[in-house]
Structure 1
């Protein structure tokens, strides 16, 4: 008995695909949630392993070092869209962050600014993303929007990373990030 590729993926996959692909709003919310899951999967396990190793070798992290590591993790998370305006989930699902005016891929600085609002109000961003799937609060601030793009494999991240050159945007991101995280550390 010959089975086609669709049958081998399973009933659950087929059902989820139909639900997700049936509505653009559901696609965007799925993209946001998949981004959070993937970034959590990429960031949290290494942080746990690092803390276990540092504890086992007797390296004690003081409060400042713990705060630095925490904000470094948040910084990586906020820059998930850096490469060509596509986070890992956006690559898989076929979306891209673009400049609202030029329709070209958003700059690194725009991507960083649009993600700053997630740290403060993720649930609000999900609600706004559901109401307006093209633009959430961070998009209005950064003058960006999310558009449908070609789907890509995760390996394209490495290709885009190799093409990346040091730009003035990176300096701006580091300055804005430093000020932002310093202010957050005062609040916490």
Structure 2
């Protein structure tokens, strides 16, 4: 994408909604560094209440634990910006919302907070999907360039594209 803005994300979100609707899926989000941008894009789509259930904005570690059931020991072991936490967030959102698919995002949008091991722009994504107790979970990593707004937009785009790819009827 050459020009990434919120309107572009909303058009992508509409495609996610169509795919979820065709599969009979409902979805939830668990967002940290994006602060609800994925949910905002999804709910900008008319009729999104047919396939979007809820969004969890869990900025603090305490919120990730309380609302999504992320084991507090993970934060000490691997940090909040990690594949383990991203996966746990996605699984927790899916379970707590009772939906077929959930996406999670945790990262460092900047301008501060980065380290040599986890620089600004580091983002981990988790995706959990399935029916009943059959849960599939994956993680993805990205290192985005740009300022805080740009990192958040790019993370939102990746989350929406991953949701679309997963929800496409087979």
* Structure ranking higher on relative contact order (CA contacts 8 Å, 6+ apart): 2
Q: Same fold (TM over 0.5)?
A: no
More strand by share: 2
TM-score between the two structures when normalised by the length of structure 1:
0.25
Question: If you compute each CA radius of gyration, which structure gives the higher value, 1 or 2?
Answer: 1
More helix by share: 1
